[in-house]
C-alpha cells in the first residue's frame, strides 16, 4: 500500500472505538478539549489569585506552561491521537514520549514556588507531599505505572475502552509528574535533589526503563493483537511497527535525558567554581 493510499484509508476509516466527531478529515475530541479548557481556566484562576497577592509568574514560566498546553493539544487532539489509538503502535509511543517525558518537566519548571506555600504552612499536608515527592517513592511509582500499563491485558483494554484510556493517561502523567519532581520540583523543601543526586537519579531512571524497552523491541511475537488487526498505514507491518515503537521509546527518552544531564552537570560545575571565588571575595 502506498503512502497516499494509507492516508486515504486513515481519513476514511470509521471511528469505531474513539468518541471523536468526524469533521471532514479532522476529528475533534470534545472530552479532551474540555479537559484542556478546564486546565486553562484553572491556570488563569490560580495566577489571577497570585497576582492579587503581588506574585507574577516570570516570562520563562509562562513560556513553559504554554508549551505544556501545546503538547497536550498535539498529543490528544491532533491526528497523532487517532493514528496512535487506532492504527500504529509506534505513533502511540510518540504520544507517550510527549506526555511522560516532555510535559511533566515543563509543567514543573513553569509552576511558581509560591503556589505551594499553603502546603508548606500545614504540617500534615507537608508530610504527605514530602512522602509523595521523595526520590525513592517518585521513581518507583513513576516506573511502576509506566510498566504496568504496558502489560498486554492493560494496554489492550485501554485501546478498546476509551474511558479506560483516559484513566491510563491521567495516571501515567500524574505519576510522571512525581517521577520528575526530584529534578524539576519548584519547592526545594520537597524532595528536590542536589546536582550530583540529580545525575544519579536520571542514571537510575534510565536503567529502570530498559525493561519495557527490551520487552517491546525484542519480543518475537506481536504483543498487542489490536495493532496486528488494525489497518496498515504507510506500509508498516505489525512486526516493524512494534520494533519501531521500542526504538522510539528508547531514543525519545535519550533525547530528553541527555540534554538534561548536560545542563545539570555544567550548572553543578559552575556552582562549584563560583563557591571558592565567593569565599575569596
| Of 12-26, 29-43, 50-64, minimum mean pLDDT range | 12-26
Per-residue pLDDT for 26 more than 60?
A: no
- Written as nine digits, the cell of 70 is 501545546
Q: What is the pLDDT of residue 15?
A: 42
> Which of 33-37, 75-79, 165-169 is modeled with the greatest confidence?
165-169
CA distance 199 to 261: 6
Q: What is residue 280's predicted lDDT score, i.e. its pLDDT?
A: 55
Q: Which residues, other chains included, contact 93 with Cβ-Cβ below 8 Å and sequence gap of 6+?
A: 245, 246, 248, 249, 252
Residue-wise pLDDT tens digits, 1-19: 444 444 433 443 434 444 3
pTM of the model: 0.84
Q: Which pLDDT band, with edges at 50, 70 and 90, does 201 fall under?
A: very high
In order of 69, 75, 102, the CA distances from 62 in angstroms are 11, 20, 16
Contacts of 116 (CB under 8 A, 6+ apart): 129, 186, 187, 190
What is the band of 103 on the pLDDT scale with cuts at 50, 70, 90?
Answer: very high
Amino acid at each position: 500500500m502506498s503512502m497516499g493510499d494509507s492516508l486515504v484509508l486513515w481519513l476514511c476509516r470509521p471511528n469505531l472505538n474513539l468518541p471523536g466527531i468526524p469533521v471532514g478529515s479532522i476529528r475533534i475530541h470534545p472530552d479532551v478539549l474540555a479537559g484542556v479548557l478546564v486546565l486553562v481556566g484553572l491556570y488563569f484562576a490560580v495566577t489571577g489569585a497570585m497576582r492579587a497577592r503581588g506574585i507574577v509568574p516570570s516570562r520563562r514560566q509562562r513560556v513553559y506552561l504554554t508549551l505544556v498546553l501545546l503538547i497536550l493539544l498535539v498529543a490528544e487532539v491532533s491526528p497523532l491521537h487517532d493514528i496512535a489509538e487506532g492504527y500504529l503502535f509506534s505513533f502511540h509511543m510518540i504520544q507517550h514520549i510527549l506526555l511522560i517525558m516532555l510535559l511533566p518537566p515543563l509543567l514543573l519548571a513553569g509552576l511558581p514556588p509560591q503556589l505551594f506555600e499553603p502546603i508548606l504552612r500545614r504540617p500534615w499536608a507537608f508530610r504527605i507531599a514530602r512522602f509523595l515527592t521523595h526520590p525513592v517513592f517518585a521513581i518507583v511509582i513513576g516506573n511502576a505505572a509506566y510498566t504496568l500499563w504496558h502489560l498486554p491485558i492493560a494496554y489492550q483494554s485501554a485501546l478498546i475502552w476509551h474511558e479506560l484510556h483516559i484513566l491510563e493517561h491521567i495516571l501515567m502523567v500524574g505519576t510522571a509528574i512525581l517521577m520528575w519532581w526530584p529534578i524539576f520540583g519548584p519547592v526545594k523543601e520537597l524532595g528536590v535533589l542536589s546536582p550530583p543526586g540529580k545525575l544519579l537519579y536520571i542514571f537510575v531512571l534510565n536503567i529502570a526503563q530498559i525493561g519495557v524497552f527490551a520487552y517491546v523491541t525484542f519480543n518475537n511475537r506481536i504483543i498487542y493483537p489490536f495493532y496486528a488487526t488494525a489497518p496498515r498505514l504507510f506500509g508498516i507491518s505489525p512486526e516493524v511497527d512494534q520494533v519501531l515503537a521500542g526504538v522510539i521509546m528508547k531514543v525519545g527518552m535519550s533525547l530528553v535525558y541527555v540534554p538534561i544531564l548536560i545542563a545539570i552537570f555544567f550548572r553543578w560545575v559552575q556552582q562549584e567554581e563560583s563557591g571558592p571565588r565567593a569565599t575569596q571575595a
